[in-house]
Structure 1
Amino acid sequence: MNLELSAVWTRVQNLVQSFLVTIPNILIGLLVFGIFLLIARIARNAVTSLSQRAGQSKGISLVFSRIVSWLVLAVGVLVALTVIFPTLTAASLFGALGVSGVAIGFAFKDIFQNLLAGILILVTRPFRIGDQIVSGDHEGVVEDIQVRATLLRTYDNRRVVIPNSELYTNRVTVNTAYPQRRLSVTVGIGYGDDIAAARKLILDTLNGLDGLLKDPAPNVLVRELGDFSVNLDVRFWIDPPIRKEAVEAQDSVLEAIKNVLPAAGFDLPFPTQQVLFHDQTETTDGNRQEQREGWPARQDNPRSRQGVQREAQQNQEQTQPSPEQARPQPEARQP
């Protein structure tokens, strides 16, 4: 029992002595890492300053300054480890990193993909911070382009985090890419209304509204002949092309058109449909020998109401007596 306690005590003493011997190395390693922290901050500020002088966007300077800072910190960690553990050489450390690099690459494949996509987005600049974009089901203002994802603020004040790889590989609509934007609304008038007069009235109304550009000028085109109305496509331009301006412009245009067209006698028809049974229309309707409409042919076709009414009228005319027959005959005189 005494031998076992002495062995344990000897082991504890050796561990304490090893730790005391390692304390200077730990302090030096922490000091070295602190120096690299300072170098990383200086390098980050230098990259930001150079990017601003080169006229690059804020997003590019932010991402590249972060990448440079992380690289400097990674080198600082390696140097600090070699100082704390003298037996750990740089060759063995890089060898271990090389062996585990494949596993790390597979584990963080999505992260590296988003990192590369974020760098490409910042370099090619399909959109910038502050632009209003549409990506899939999401629409809003780009708040930040980070290394892994892009932060989008929706118009109802929610944040959407979209991976950079998704933005780089999928379709993205940038609403604020150009200084001007064209909007359009659809207005339906009656088939009996004068299209040229309605077009002139709408254009005169749009020219008197604030917030719409005079150049390019608004225009009105006939879009389609609908089921119950002639649909006009009213097009106009706004500047700046932000969401707030677009919503307000559409509101003012629709309100003005709604007020002027009925006041000038133009019809804004409601959706209407007319449903007729086959026995309420022409005689041939419902006759599957003459009007198929995708039905199988048959011999016992239902008779139309017109046909039944016409036949009843003919029978009535045949059964009615003629005027000569309807005139009362004189009674024969008695001798």
Structure 2
Amino acid sequence: MTATQDDVLAYFDSLSNWGRWGDHDELGTLNHITDEVRVAAARAVRHGRSVSCAWEVAVPEDMERSTTTCPRAVDMPGAATMPPAFHADRRWGFSSERLGLTFHGNNITHLDSPCHIFWDGTMYNGRSHSMVDAATGSAWAAVTAAVNGIITRGVLLDIAKVRDVPWLEPGQGVFPDDLEEAERRQGVRVRSGDAVLLRTGYGRARHESGPATGFTQAGWHASCLPWLRERQVALIGADTPQDVQPSGFEDVLMPVHAVGLVAMGLWMVDNCDLEACATTAAELGQWDFQLAVAPVRFAGTSGSPVNPIATF
């Protein structure tokens, strides 16, 4: 049954993980990834093949005006800051970069930590949004809570394949029945501690036609949130920024982000490129794998660009 707006608003209480792992917990659903889960994830490596689930970060031509990609300044050999001995060595050279990027949004593959979203001025586990400071970042549930990385069993659910379409059209949501049909067809079942990667096929469309414009996209419908909690999923990812848009709810623009991050402490990887992962899974007949996600240790940030690696 499709959730109503009242149902979704009630999820903030009924799906809440506040206090579940203690009042000082910042890991949220990553607590489902136990030592035993990591050992089991290693057993999913049966072929030794690894693939990236991230998009390449492009360097824009107009670095001054870009807000979503990665402005780059290149320091060339002979920089004045180098010691004199380096200037005397005519055979030695180097290049280095100074990079700046806004990774949240619809283009760069990135990890969202729980402090990324507030609801009624509150973050995961009941902390005030005032714990986020413009100068120092977040003192609560920042990306550094996952400092030891996220290594678990990943499961790719290929919804475009289930629906026998090249990709879901913008605005089409994915529902629990879709997830379970994908499990049935692929011969896999999501279990506690897993990372679930959702393929809508947008990656294929983006490869063929370039990034979409506007704010309409396929993705998780809010009705999937109880399913994700029941299965004790540790992390979700998608080839879009997660939420189907429009969400269908006037008062909750991005319910998967809002309920997921704030109430559940559900970490998520936005904007994956799942095409190579899907091709490899179909070729090998294996839809589970070891997934490794290592965020950069940016102090106090609400996420990090990442390169998720699936190893089959």
Global fold match (TM > 0.5) = no
TM-score interval (norm. to shorter): under 0.3
Select the structure with the greater relative contact order (CA < 8 A; seq sep ≥ 6): 2
Q: TM-score, normalised by structure 1?
A: 0.17
Q: TM-score, normalised by structure 2?
A: 0.18
